């Protein structure tokens, strides 16, 4: 059996967003949030999670993906030159997991709630 990776997505990879097609064959565990506090920014319509400021937990979805899908996500996210993929503790369905998550520390518009779906109310 091929090795599976857990990935926690918070922006355009979430259901209903432009890049979700990359996760079409992945198993979704559901909605959750990070254990630790981070900060969500929005730049030109794209979300970035920064570890520089620790304001709130980040809302997202967790998926089980294969190595090929992880490679595709890394390529799309520009890992490791643009976004950096790090293991992060998340809570999904009342259980704690360690999942990959993409981070970037740019300037941009702060997302006060930590939820990308609230972007329309801030922009």
User: Which active-site residues does the annotation give?
Assistant: 77
Q: Strands, E, within the chain: which ranges?
A: 4-9, 27-34, 39-43, 46-50, 59-66, 84-92, 95-103, 109-111
Give 45's contacts (C-beta < 8 A, 6+ positions apart): 119
Q: Which residue has the tokens 């259901």?
A: 15
């Amino acid at each position: 059996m091929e090795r599976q990776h857990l990935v926690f997505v918070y922006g355009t990879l979430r259901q209903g967003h432009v890049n979700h097609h990359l996760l079409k064959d992945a198993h979704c565990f559901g909605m959750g949030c990070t254990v630790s506090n981070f900060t969500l920014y929005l730049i030109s319509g794209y979300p970035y999670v920064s570890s520089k400021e620790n304001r709130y937990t980040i809302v997202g979805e967790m998926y089980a993906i294969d190595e090929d899908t992880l490679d595709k996500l890394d390529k799309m996210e520009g890992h490791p030159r643009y976004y950096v993929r790090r293991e992060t503790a998340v809570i999904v369905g009342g259980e704690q997991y360690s999942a990959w998550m993409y981070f970037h520390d740019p300037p941009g518009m702060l997302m006060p709630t930590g939820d990308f779906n609230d972007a329309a109310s801030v922009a």
